[in-house]
Amino acid sequence: MFPENQTVCQMNHRTLWEDSMRFMIARGVRTFIEFAPGTVLKGLLKKIDPSIETIAMGTTGDFHALG
């Protein structure tokens, strides 16, 4: 569990998700996998760079389809 001051800090500051995705793309990552139901992160990533391959893994069926 986070100490109270760290939790408040995390809730009151922007995340670095977009910066992190841009960093990874700049380093050559071309495929991202979202391990959650829905495709919110997939959609956000496509706005950053439409050429990136994104895969949503939201159900057990998605995992089994990988073979």
CA neighbor of 19 nearest in space, from 45, 53, 46, 52:
45
- What pLDDT, on the 0 to 100 scale, is given for residue 31? 95
Let me know: does 56 contact 38? Beta carbons within 8 Å: yes
CA neighbor of 35 nearest in space, from 14, 56, 18, 21:
56
Using one digit for the tens of pLDDT, what is the confidence trace for 23-48?
999 999 999 998 888 888 889 999 99
Average pLDDT, the chain: 84
**Single pTM value for the model:** 0.69
Let me know: does 45 contact 21? Beta carbons within 8 Å: yes
Helix (H, G, I), strand (E, B) or coil at 36: coil
- What pLDDT, on the 0 to 100 scale, is given for residue 2? 53
